[in-house]
Structure 1
Amino acid sequence: MKETYTVEDLQYLMSQLRNPDGGCPWDLKQTFATIVPSTIEEAYEVAEAIEKEDFEHLHEELGDLLFQVIFYAQLGREQGHFDFSRIVDTLVRKLVRRHPHVFPSGQLYSDGPDEASLGAIDEQQVKANWEAIKAEERQGKGEKGTLDGVAVGLPALTRAAKLQKRAAQVGFDWPEIGGVLAKVEEELRELREAIDSGDRAHAREELGDLLFSCVNLARHLKEDPEVALRQCNRKFEQRFGAVEAALKARDQQPSDVSLEELDRLWEASKG
């Protein structure tokens, strides 16, 4: 047995799993579409490990995510679309193109960046250059609208933030956070009115507007709304778990006590 396996070994393993003669029946049944849910799940497990600073297991979660790429590469090779080497080649070329301050010659292996140009560029300029180059790439793909190419399959909060960021790049944005806060308050008032009217469809629309405004607020605070909500979810789980533990010590369930008692235990869990 080898002491350390490589990416090449992983590619060979994948080819054997997909080998019609003796491969794995489950892997042989899979398609691009069927493994998408697993890809999304693995990406979130990587994010969770990082948020928990669980570095002992992060390498394992990253391996699971890498396996998704290897799986897609195998499917692409079998169907004649692309292979792993093309995935890597496309990625490297794109990253070299998007970092002209590091690779001024447009080549990965060259004499390196010009020291004077490195000292003259800051993070904001790097971001501006990155977005300008991405915009050129989108035009090359036939994406002409400002919002074209923002993946529909993204989580709604993440997609909302990306749509707003794109719009902001062409000047469609609040100049200061006060305007964003006022918009959140306006949308909340409109949601209250829709709820009072009893119009469920209108209330749903206004709820969406409120959520969209909250995402905009997160963007102006330079926070990722998806990360913020995941942190809130984790906090809720911890506090509700503390409430259940307190009740279990009394041989009770949440349904056994009043809402007032649950609220008291909830407040105690914050301590």
Structure 2
Amino acid sequence: MQIIKSVSEMQSLVGQLRVQGQRIGLVPTMGALHEGHLSLVKIASDIADVVVVSIFVNPTQFGPSEDYTKYPRPLEADTAACEAAGVDYVFAPEVEEMYPKGYSTFVLEEHIAKPLEGASRPSHFRGVTTVVAKLFNIVRPHFAVFGQKDAQQVAVINKMAIDLNFDVEIVVAPTLREADGLAMSSRNRYLTNTQRVEALVISRALRKASDMVAAGERRVDRLIAEATHLIGQQRRVRIIYVSVVDLVSMVAIKGEIVPGKDVMTIAVWVDEVRLIDNQIL
């Protein structure tokens, strides 16, 4: 496995790979890798000849009071995990390599990115779409694999890829969960044992909504009310939003859901730790 830190070196390499007819799979990450990330690597390995994992804590997707400075950066452990998983190349640029002095160009999706995470983190998706667009241009993947856990991010990136004519197939992998049901996330390592126990209410609320739909419930207000009630019973957990939206457009659903096409999305604070999760209904 080779670690590449230079944009120009990465571009030169993928140019050679494409000339050789190699199909490239990209797994974009911010590092602090866990089994969820490695499941994306497995999917990329199954469909591509060459797998590239990008590891880059992207400053432009963090707000001024968010956790950019303390976000975990265990690069040595991450590269070891990538090598064990059969990754061919790790692209791990420094900030100055991705955003050199004088950088001033950004990519903005203006509709899907507005609600939910966009409302509570106004600059977040501008940073996400910008860095992913840059990665698509640098790595030139045939496939890019993202996790369903970040449902709105998947929808935004899908739209960006369509609108900007990126020649890449977006592959969406199911959310991987811990044995206790908590969605795998790099931010889970922030949780104390007590906070983690209370955070389990997120997946319980999503499961309850899914069970209600399976039993025939279609009314959005009933699904949201039940999920909100469950979460509200935990002292350390504060709701940012509980919403049912269209899986593609992220438009809030009113009235009744369409099973398989709508998703319940939840964001909460567990004390000072921000967590998100979702469930297709």
- Could you state the TM-score of these two structures normalised by the residue count of structure 1? 0.28
- Could you state the TM-score of these two structures normalised by the residue count of structure 2? 0.27
Higher Cα radius of gyration: 1
Larger fraction in strand: 2
Q: Which has the higher contact order (CA 8 A, sep 6+)?
A: 2
Larger fraction in helix: 1
